[in-house]
Structure 1
Amino acid sequence: MTDKPAFVYVIYIERTPEKVWHALTDADLTAEYWGHSNVSDWQVGSPWEHQRTDGSGTADVVGTVVESSPPTRLVTTWAAPDADAAAEPSRVTFDIQPHGDIVRLTVTHENLADEAERTAAAGGWAAALSNLKSLIETGSPLPQQPWLIPQ
């Protein structure tokens, strides 16, 4: 077990596990609520990229799919594209648990470099997941990008 910081975020969404899975793994949907397209075939061992939506194809985050169990669990590594290859990437786990007509989505981002990275992750995940919830419950993301609100 690592002693590096981790961040856990839980959100409840009025949708099925399949809809939440689709929102996490569909490049067009992630572009709507995250401002980046998550691009992969989501098979274990496959690469994934968090690509800008400006048409540049630039990936701001890259990783590998570690576990893919639709529609309940997705685990990926998470690193900057220019990260030192010898450095261990952080890891993000999406656990999707159904309960009646809702889903509890738990996102665990672990093996973060330090408390500053943990703080950044906390703000980023809260914004992205709030926008995801709004999009899949109402059909529209929030009217402003929540990650642009000053801390």
Structure 2
Amino acid sequence: MMISILFGLAMDYQVFLVSRMHEEWVQTKDNARAVRVGQVETARVITAASAIMVCVFIAFVFGGQRTIAEFGIGLSAAVALDAFVLRTILVPASMHLFGKANRWLPAWLDRRMPHLPVDPPDEPLPAPSPDSPTPEPEPSTRP
């Protein structure tokens, strides 16, 4: 049960870290820079969120129930290990070592996967012309 809870909690850290690395890689196509920028820009968020969770789980120890205290100790140790060792050391190090292999995807799978942009397109909004009248505010229906 603790492993499923931990997996759900730690998934956010991986999403923060790897999505920021991917954003930088899309812009620069430089894996070393993407890993470095992704780690630097998400380290504070991951560290703060995990420190809060560790404190909350440690507080379970003082509840007076042995089962809840065991969960608190186990989850706090697991979150600390996951955030401070796995997400801030091992994942960035392995992504740096793998280099271009991080972004490799078989062509047949790439064709079958949907390509959905996260950000809206970079189309500028049309500027209002100086001759166009400004819209009148609608009258209020409140009494």
Query: TM class by shorter-chain length?
Result: under 0.3
Ranked by relative contact order (alpha carbons within 8 Å, sequence separation 6 or more), the top structure is 1
| Structure (1/2) with the larger strand percentage | 1
How does the TM-score come out when normalised to structure 2? 0.26
Greater CA radius of gyration, 1 or 2?
Answer: 2
| Structure (1/2) with the larger helix percentage | 2
